[in-house]
A and B are shown apart, each in its own frame.
Chain A
Amino acid sequence: EIVLTQSPGTLSLSPGERATLSCRASQTVSSSYLAWYQHKPGQAPRLLIYGASNRATGIPERFTGRGSGTDFTLTISRLEPEDFAVYFCQQYDTFGGGTKVEIK
């Protein structure tokens, strides 16, 4: 069973700063099945990235996904106020524990 470990657990940043989130798999996984989501309290999670690096429809260019093998990253180039949320990765039916991006 694949385990996805996300780090850090919490990222405290200011608007305009760059956020780099990590998702590490316990074994090599296919990039084709790696996705990232944004989740705000009381809302439905939103698909950001699929296939490790493909932005979903309507997702701003400041969101970039990269990686392969066991190491994947989600980068938000310049944080906007609406980007403060929890982000989690997914591989098949397994989810990472999430990274909370909070306002510093």
Chain B
Amino acid sequence: QLQLQESGPGLMKPSETLSLTCTVSGGSITSSSSYWGWIRQPPGKGLEWIATIYYGGSTYYNPSLKSRVTISVDTSKNQFSLKLSSVTAADTAIYYCTRRNYGDYRIDPWGQGSLVTVSS
């Protein structure tokens, strides 16, 4: 059974760069039917798509975050990562790593989520 697990810093200060890693287990990150991505949910708000990557290197970014975001994949470790620069309190959220099915955009599975709090 495919499982995703996020790892992240928990607490950060404004202006720092957020680094999150998602470890994929029970399957290969080089699956041809899989896109890997990040979605976040600020407290009390809805879900926001951040970025998606295919193991071959194709990347897709939310235009509203594109200037601050980089998504990458490490096939040797079966992991993918997210970097978000110049964080502010508005970036406080639960960050989920996800697998999106090629072709129909269904997201399955999701990671448990990693709470990132930005505070001075």
Considering the chains assembled together, what is the distance between the CA atoms of A92 and B70 in angstroms? 20
- The answer to whether B49 touches A44 (Cβ under 8 A) is no
Query: A95 near B112 (CB under 8 angstroms)?
Result: no
Chain B positions within 8 Å of A56 at CB level: 106, 108
Residue of B nearest to A47 (CB): B108
What separation, in Å, do the CA atoms of A94 and B47 have in the docked complex?
Answer: 8
Q: Assess the B105–A92 pair: CB atoms within 8 A.
A: yes
| A-B CB contacts (within 8 Å), total count | 51
Within 8 A of A (CB), among B44-79: 46-49, 52, 62
Question: Which of B46, B52, B111 has the most CB atoms of chain A within a 10 A radius of its CB?
Answer: B46
Total B residues in contact with A, Cβ cutoff 8 Å: 19
Quick one: given A93-B49, A93-B62, A97-B46, are A43 and B112 in contact (CB under 8 Å)? yes
Cα distance, A95 to B112, chains bound together (Å): 18
Q: Which residues of A contact B39 (CB under 8 A)?
A: 95
Q: Is the CB of B109 within 8 A of A95?
A: no
Contacts of A33 in B (CB 8 A): 104-105
Q: Are A90 and B46 in contact (CB under 8 A)?
A: no
> Which of A88, A91, A92 meets B47, CB within 8 Å?
A88
